[in-house]
Amino acid sequence: MSGKIVLHYFNGRGKMESIRWLLAAAGVEFEEVFLTKREQFEKLNNDGALMFNQVPLVEIDGMQLVQTKAILNYIAGKYNLYGKDLKERAMIDMYVEGLGDLMDLITVLAFLPPDNKQKQLAKIESKAKDRSLQLFEKALAHGQFLVGNQLSRADVLLLEITLMLQELVPEILSTFPKLQEFQGRMKAIPTISKFLQPGSARKNPPDEAYVKTIKEVLSHLFK
């Protein structure tokens, strides 16, 4: 195993995108191996790289890490994006878990039949406006960051999700000035600014080709 960080996933967002975001925010370079065929997934599994028969898979520090939360926790801890003590870590975890509920609603959208997408979109908008965005607007009234006085994985995830929400509902932050200010500050961080530029490892919103590839590679999940 090389010393470089290697991500094994599809050429799209999914569960790997937050990992890309966190590494990018930390200023860490990585390589990607894109799964396009069922045989690639089977080889990883047969080689023992996928403990739970799932991707994402991240090769880092001589380990083959799976399970998205475990990967994100490791990266956050390694690169000082996980608070200064256990109390801050608990707060970060609460924010991240709450954002994860919203992320799950967004992620599934691409896999729904056309007739169900509008209903799901309405559910996403309602949950965001009525609960999540209000909570984070209030949290940001007390400082530049969600927890303590330094950047954490919670901030990075909040930026990622608010940008995704704006792709779906462009004016969704219009009544949330603190979140708009937060986005501006985050986008000004050099490592994040670089990740937001064309040609970076940031992935586009999922399209039909992405969904088709996932269904072919992970065919056992779509029977």
Is the pLDDT assigned to residue 223 strictly greater than 80?
no
Q: What pLDDT does residue 222 have?
A: 80
Q: Among candidates 161, 167, 104, which has minimal Cα distance to 136?
A: 161
CA distance 113 to 5: 36
CA distance 180 to 140: 10
Q: What pLDDT does residue 1 have?
A: 45
Helix axes 38-46 and 208-217, enclosed angle (nearest 10): 40
Q: Quick one: pLDDT band at residue 56, thresholds 50, 70, 90?
A: very high
CA distance 175 to 6: 40
State pLDDT tens for residues 73-97: 999 999 999 999 999 999 999 999 9
Strands 63-66 and 57-60, bridge-based pairing: antiparallel
State pLDDT tens for residues 96-123: 999 999 999 999 999 998 889 999 999 9
- The letter for the amino acid at 202 is R
The secondary structure of residue 16, as a DSSP letter, is G
State pLDDT tens for residues 128-165: 998 999 999 999 998 999 999 999 999 999 999 999 99
Return the percentage of the chain with pLDDT > 70, whole number: 99
Strands 57-60 and 6-9, bridge-based pairing: antiparallel
The secondary structure of residue 199, as a DSSP letter, is T
CA distance 217 to 213: 6
Is the pLDDT assigned to residue 177 strictly greater than 60?
yes
Strand order in the sheet with 6-9: 31-34, 6-9, 57-60, 63-66
CA distance 111 to 206: 9
Sign of CA dihedral 102, 103, 106, 108: negative
Is the pLDDT assigned to residue 2 strictly greater than 60?
no
Domains and CATH numbers, the chain: 6-79+196-221 (3.40.30.10), 86-188 (1.20.1050.10)
Q: Quick one: pLDDT band at residue 58, thresholds 50, 70, 90?
A: very high
